[in-house]
Structure 1
Amino acid sequence: MELPLMAVKPEAPAEGVGAVDRALAILFAFQPGDSVLTLAELARRTGFYKSTLLRLIASLERARMLVRQGQEARWRLGPALIGLGLQAEHGLAPLREMVPAVLRRLAADTGESASFYVREGEFRLCLFREEGHHPVRDHLLPGSLLPLDRGAAAHVLRGAGLSVSIGERDPELAAIAAPVRGTGGVLLGALCLSGTATRFGDKVRREALAAALEREAVQLSRQLGG
């Protein structure tokens, strides 16, 4: 059994251009696993009137950020977003070269799911993920956004050191996170192990997981110039 963790859609900022905020809300309505969304589903997820959606979608289509599928009122994310994503990914090249191998090693050695989070405003973004092998575990996809006010990785991204969270975000889940730093001690992200509260509740196992995680975080920080 897997315990699903839902991606969180960013809230609209208090200040900004309303039309831009609404257009972004349409793009953020697509969640991991969505290939196409209908007009009705977009209306349900965004809370916008269909007439408003159609006007905004027309602009997004012109910018190639949305592509209509056939003659039906169904859309998928467009190629312009791929180009933007590749540009954003270029800045993450050092992390992409090093972090996935660390996550694979942690997941293989501990059996727990390993993740790497970065801060995105008042949220934390799961940048990389390696699932553990336990049949009961938390399930999360790379690209998911989670709140920054609770959870071990959230505490690290807000300035804490090695952090443990048991049942804080979900009573059935637990996590341990450690900071990863780059040149000049700049915080680059949070390396995290997560699993069930039952497994992490055992003190001996929790301390062993924390030690393994901290070793990897220190080594990764050194490789990244920290």
Structure 2
Amino acid sequence: MADNMSGAITKFRLALIQLKVSPLKASNHSKVRTLVKEATVKGAKIVALPECFNSPYGTNYFPEYAEKIPGESTQVLSEIAKENRIYLIGGSIPEEDGGKFYNACTVFAPDGSMLLKYRKIHLFDIDVPGKIHFQESETLSPGNSLCTFDTPYCKTGIGICYDLRFPELAQIYTQQGCQLLVYPGAFNMTTGPAHWELLQRARAVDNQIYVAGVSPAQNEKNSYVAWGHSTIVNP
């Protein structure tokens, strides 16, 4: 990643981990440790994981895999960030809090401390006849706050998947001084080919910022098949 038009971003390497998610949480944790280490060896200073990196994606899975934050998965993320001395954008996990479930992204500093917790604001409710029907709101509650974090390289804002469709979110983040937006996401085989790259390019060019979308890998064995095609777009 090089300087943007304002010159406010320092050159650094960003890695997107396009993980093939398994039903075994411990296996996903292990894969992430290995892949983040590989990215760090190649010079990555900020590493981002995909949406629902620790569990299959689906309304029936959210309650089954949900954790408190801090909890098991965020402890693993903290350890990985500290071991590799990187900023780690922890994709997202299903979070349980007060009997409600959220799709939550945590970010960790190189010392292992948690910098933020972002809860997906715009829930993915879609019905394309003959293609896909999915209602996140059947299980999840929405978040209500924006989250940014500073690094020596740039200021970064976080969204999750469907949040990418809302230009106002990106505009507010840009007004707050963000030069990079990262969206862990799992667009599907219907919406992915149509809009995944298009929306990232739109958010980037509208706001003259860098935009990254990081997806789970395509896995035809899953009930919900992610499009993959993790992407970084410049201004």
What TM-score, normalized by structure 2, do the two folds share? Answer: 0.23
What TM-score, normalized by structure 1, do the two folds share? Answer: 0.23
Max radius of gyration: which structure?
1
Q: Which has the higher contact order (CA 8 A, sep 6+)?
A: 2
